[in-house]
Amino acid sequence: MQQVSSRDRGLNYGDGFFTTVKISAGKLERWEGHLKRLAQCASALYFPELDYRALTEQCECASREVAQGVLKVVITRGEGGRGYGLPEEPKVTTLVSLSPYPAHYARWRDEGVTLALSDVRLGHQPMLAGLKTLNRLEQVLIKQNAAHKAADDVLVVDLYGQVIESSAANILICKDKHWYTPDLSQCGIQGVYLSSLQQHNPITTISLTLESVYRADTVYLCNSLMGLVPVRQIDNHVFSLNKAHALAKELVVRL
Active site residue 165: yes
Active site residue 250: no
Distant-in-sequence contacts of 22-26, Cβ < 8 A, 24+ apart = 22/70, 22/101, 22/224, 22/225, 23/63, 23/66, 23/68, 23/69, 23/70, 23/71, 23/98, 23/101, 24/67, 24/68, 25/67, 25/68, 26/63, 26/64, 26/65, 26/66, 26/67
Catalytic, out of 20, 76, 93, 218: 20
By the 8 A CB rule, do 20 and 139 touch? no
Catalytic, out of 79, 93, 132, 181: 132
Active site residue 132: yes
107 vs 92: CA distance, rounded Å: 39
Residues 6+ apart with CB under 8 A from 247: 174, 177, 217, 218
Catalytic, out of 22, 76, 93, 165: 165
**Which residues belong to the active site?**
20, 132, 165
